[in-house]
């Protein structure tokens, strides 16, 4: 009978991601079924992972049996306390270095023989750097076995029993979630990416260096991180405060500053940015309303978003997934370009230079093709938090920035973020779902270059972007400053009166509401509720409304009340007089005046006669 030394399940690092490679001689002679379990425990702000491999090797021939099994891990895998056993006894693992990985060889104590016999092998160890405790979330990239063919492969993740964490993002989606156990059966991807926790918090410090080279004073604007469908900011301070704040048509949070001739000024932004795995339901309606105004320019060509070689994309249909796949497969990430001046090529140029792409080119090509095919698309420039730049590179100029596209899903009526760059470099699906590592600094729908994102307002070489994950939950402060017109004490029942009030957000987050109803007595109010779009910190909006009397022929009293948060309110009370009452009063005054004049004239004439 032949002895067969089976070598399988080599784990090695290939350029950008971890692969588990199953290599078998005479694969028709055996079947290897794998079950890999990860048991998590949390201690002192660390995640410990106990890993258990259960491998069943089934013989398909009577004259061949398995004598030895070996497994290899890359040296970056921090494993310890290795233990192995088969169906009969503990085994002594033979550990040796081999070509960039650590090899563990195991020999069965009593290998079973015969067709249909099954030899079971169990390998246990602790791995310290697999699951990352990253701020408020847990994150993991689990390698899978490649070229499994007919072999079965199951992954199970066991969360701590007392854990409040739940899986929020998974690529691919798990087959089952049973209590604290998540299971993937025969995943087709090379890696399993999972995030546990719904919200990530990032402590953020940004610097904006402004210079006015002119001999006259100027105003200029900077873009602070905005609220989006997946992002919420908590402001600690902006120093100095802007002269004014506005939100542009793309949704950018813009601060306006005054610069004297030749003046240098540095703006400091400090705060916390929260990123969500699920859409913010209270922000969806606002995004949909804003999109109605954005549609007019979201299909336009521009310097970087145009394609003159129409024949190159003729076979691509008007489908976001197909466009995304084309871009991901067409372009190759150029790691050397990041180290150079990194000139932005644009969509047209990168089609003929597909090996010269970084995140900007992946994004530009997606947007250009999408718009050409009638799909609304735009660019997001910001920060991609990555603990492994080879897997998820950051390649926008200046500080460590990143860019990715969004397309408007006309069925769901929402913006969908995608990242062809990171899928190209990591192999992880960034189309079907996103992650909690993308932070928006600037939104480019109308203009591919403006506003500039944080990290690009530079005078000299400096570190202007500092972002770190945190598990500290920020506090929200809502505060409004409200100014209104003065109100008359009396109104005419036949007239309509126009009023304005100005609302400024003095809080540390965007302020949004479903509107402020105007409760009234004996008055018609238009509109009946004041609608306020989301206000960025420091931003002001002026709202208008009108009132008129319900009854025209009756002298009465009326009032209205507008309630705001923090127990603020505007209350106005009026005496309502019919139009004929005012007319009668005016006529009476006129008659009285005329009578007085007549009396004066008569008196003067009488004196002159004497």
Separation between Cα atoms, residue 35 and residue 27, nearest integer Å:
19
Kindly report the CATH number that applies to the domain delimited by 2-196: 2.60.40.3650
Could you say which DSSP state residue 507 is in? S
Per the model's pLDDT, the better-predicted residue between 69 and 40 turns out to be 40
Residue 189 has pLDDT above 80, yes or no: yes
Query: How far is residue 124's CA from residue 146's CA, in Å, rounded to a whole number?
Result: 21
Please tell me the distance from the alpha carbon of residue 345 to that of residue 351, in angstroms, as a whole number: 10
Question: 28-37, 177-186, 253-262, 349-358: which has the minimum mean pLDDT?
Answer: 28-37
Count of H-run helices and E-run strands, the chain: 6, 38
Instruction: Report residue 20's pLDDT band, with 50, 70 and 90 as the boundaries.
Output: very low
Residue 19 has pLDDT above 70, yes or no: no
pLDDT, tens only, 332-348? 999 888 777 778 999 99
User: What is the spatial distance between Cα 451 and Cα 248, in angstroms, rounded to a whole number?
Assistant: 10
Q: CA–CA separation, 384 vs 449, rounded Å?
A: 19
Strand order in the sheet with 101-107: 94-98, 101-107, 64-74, 2-14, 17-21, 145-146
Does residue 271 or residue 594 have the better pLDDT?
A: 271
**Helix, strand, coil tally for the chain in percent (to 5):** 15, 45, 40
Q: State the pLDDT confidence band at 412, using cuts at 50, 70 and 90.
A: very high
Q: Does domain 202-470 have CATH number 3.10.620.30?
A: yes
Alpha-carbon distance of 545 to 537, in angstroms, equals 24
Position 268 scores a pLDDT of 98
Output the pLDDT for position 18.
Answer: 33
Q: Which residue has the higher pLDDT, 340 or 329?
A: 329
Percent of the residues in the chain that have a pLDDT greater than 90, as a whole number: 62
- At 435, list the tokens: 């992650």
DSSP-derived 3-state class of residue 592: helix
For residue 381, give both structure tokens: 């420039």
Rg (CA), the chain: 35
- In angstroms, the CA 268 to CA 238 distance is 6
**Burial code of 25-56, b = ≥16 C-beta within 10 A, e = fewer?**
eebebbbbbbbbbbbbebeeeebbbebbbbbe
Residue 391 has pLDDT above 60, yes or no: no
pLDDT of residue 146: 62
Contact 286, 294 (CB under 8 A): no
> pLDDT tens across 542-570, in order?
999 999 998 877 889 999 999 998 889 99
| Cα–Cα nearest to 275, from 361, 380, 178 | 380
Percent of the chain with pLDDT over 70: 90
Q: How many Å apart are CA 345 and CA 87, to the nearest integer? A: 60
List, for residues 122-157, the tens digit of each pLDDT value: 999 998 878 888 899 999 988 887 666 778 999 999
Pairing of strands 176-178, 181-185: antiparallel
Integer angstrom CA distances of residue 144 from 24, 193, 478: 16, 11, 47
Compute the distance between CA of residue 116 and CA of residue 104 in angstroms, rounded to an integer.
26
Higher pLDDT, 257 or 391: 257
Topology alike, domains 2-196 and 480-577 = yes
pLDDT for position 390:
55
Q: Is the pLDDT of residue 578 over 90?
A: no
Residue 249, pLDDT > 70, answer: yes
- Reduced to 3 states (helix: H, G, I; strand: E, B; else coil), residue 586 is helix
pLDDT reading at 606 higher than 90 = no
Tokens of residue 152, six digits: 């079965």
The mean per-residue pLDDT over the stretch 5-17 comes to: 33
Domain boundaries, the chain: 2-196, 202-470, 480-577, 580-610
* Model confidence band, residue 300 (pLDDT cutoffs 50, 70, 90): very high
- Contact (Cβ atoms closer than 8 angstroms) between residue 189 and residue 427: yes
User: Domain 480-577 sits in which CATH superfamily?
Assistant: Immunoglobulins (2.60.40.10)
E strand or H helix at 138, and its extent? strand 137-143
113: confidence class by pLDDT, cuts 50, 70, 90: confident
Q: Which residue, chain included where needed, has tokens 């081999």?
A: 98
Q: Which residues of 238-259 are buried (b: 16+ CB within 10 A; e: fewer)?
A: beeebeebbbbebbbbbbebeb
What mean pLDDT is predicted for residues 204-211?
A: 96
Per DSSP, the residues of 263-297 read -EEEEEEEEEEEEESS--HHHHHHHHHHHHHHTTT
Question: Residue 471: pLDDT above 50?
Answer: yes
For position 162, what pLDDT does the model report? 81
Q: What pLDDT sits at residue 25?
A: 41
Do 145 and 22 meet the contact criterion of CB atoms below 8 Å apart? yes
Across 48-57, 90-99, 153-162, 255-264, the highest mean pLDDT is recorded for 255-264
Averaged pLDDT, 404-426? 95
Q: Given a cut of 60, is residue 15 above it in pLDDT?
A: no
Phi, psi (deg, nearest 5) at residue 359: -60, -35
Selection from 437, 533, 472, 510 nearest residue 234 by Cα: 510
Q: What is the mean pLDDT of the chain?
A: 87
């Amino acid at each position: 009978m032949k002895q067969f030394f089976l070598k399988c399940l080599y784990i090695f690092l290939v350029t950008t991601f971890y692969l588990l490679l199953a290599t078998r001689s005479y694969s028709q002679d055996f079947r290897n079924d794998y079950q890999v379990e990860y048991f998590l425990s949390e201690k002192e702000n660390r995640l410990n992972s106990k890993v258990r491999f259960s491998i069943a090797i089934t013989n398909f021939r009577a004259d061949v049996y398995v004598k030895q099994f070996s497994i290899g891990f890359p040296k970056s895998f921090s494993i310890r306390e290795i233990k192995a056993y088969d169906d009969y006894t503990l085994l002594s693992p033979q550990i040796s270095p081999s070509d960039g990985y650590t090899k563990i060889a195991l020999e069965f104590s009593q290998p079973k023989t015969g067709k249909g016999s099954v030899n079971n092998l169990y390998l246990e160890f602790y791995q310290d750097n697999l699951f990352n405790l990253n701020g408020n979330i847990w994150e993991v990239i689990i390698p899978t076995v490649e070229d499994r063919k007919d072999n079965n492969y199951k992954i199970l993740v066991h969360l701590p029993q007392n854990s409040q964490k739940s899986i929020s993002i998974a690529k691919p989606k798990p087959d089952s979630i049973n209590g604290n156990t998540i299971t993937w059966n025969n995943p087709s991807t090379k890696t399993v990416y999972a995030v546990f926790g719904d919200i990530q918090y990032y402590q953020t410090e940004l610097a904006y260096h402004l210079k006015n080279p002119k001999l006259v004073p100027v105003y200029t604007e900077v873009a602070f991180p905005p609220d989006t469908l997946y992002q919420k900011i908590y402001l600690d301070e902006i120093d100095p405060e802007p002269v004014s704040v506005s939100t542009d048509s793309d949704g950018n949070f813009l601060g306006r500053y005054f610069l004297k001739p030749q003046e240098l000024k540095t703006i400091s932004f400090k705060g916390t940015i929260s990123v969500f795995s699920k859409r913010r339901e209270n922000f969806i309606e606002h995004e949909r309303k804003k999109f109605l105004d954005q549609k007019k320019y979201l299909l336009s060509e521009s310097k970087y978003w145009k394609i003159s070689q129409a024949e190159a994309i003729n076979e691509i249909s008007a489908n976001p997934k197909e466009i995304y796949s084309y871009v991901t497969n067409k372009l190759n990430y150029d790691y050397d370009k990041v180290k150079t001046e990194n000139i932005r090529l644009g969509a047209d140029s990168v089609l003929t230079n597909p090996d010269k792409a970084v995140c900007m080119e992946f994004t530009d090509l997606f947007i250009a093709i999408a718009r050409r095919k009638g799909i609304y698309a735009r660019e997001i420039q910001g920060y991609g938090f990555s603990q492994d730049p080879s897997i998820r590179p950051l390649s926008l100029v200046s500080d460590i920035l990143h860019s990715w596209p969004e397309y408007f899903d006309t069925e769901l009526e929402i913006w969908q973020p995608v990242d062809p760059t990171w899928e190209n470099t990591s192999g992880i699906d960034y189309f079907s779902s996103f992650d909690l590592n993308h932070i928006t600094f600037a939104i480019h729908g109308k203009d591919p270059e403006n506003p500039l994102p944080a990290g690009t307002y530079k005078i000299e070489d400096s570190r202007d972007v500092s972002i770190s994950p945190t598990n500290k939950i920020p506090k929200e402060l809502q505060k409004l400053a409200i100014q209104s017109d003065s109100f008359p004490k009396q109104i005419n029942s036949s007239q309509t009166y126009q009023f304005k009030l100005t609302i400024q957000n003095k809080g540390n987050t965007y302020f949004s509401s479903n509107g402020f109803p105007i409760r009234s007595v004996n008055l018609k109010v238009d509109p009946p509720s004041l609608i306020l779009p989301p206000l960025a910190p420091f931003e002001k909006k002026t709202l208008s409304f009108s009132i008129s009397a319900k009854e025209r022929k009756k002298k009465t009293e009326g009032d209205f009340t507008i309630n705001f948060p923090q127990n603020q309110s505007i209350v106005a009370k009026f005496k309502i007089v019919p139009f004929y009452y005012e007319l009668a009063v005016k006529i009476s005054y006129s008659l009285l005046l005329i009578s007085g004049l007549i009396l004066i004239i008569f008196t003067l004439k009488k004196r002159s006669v004497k």
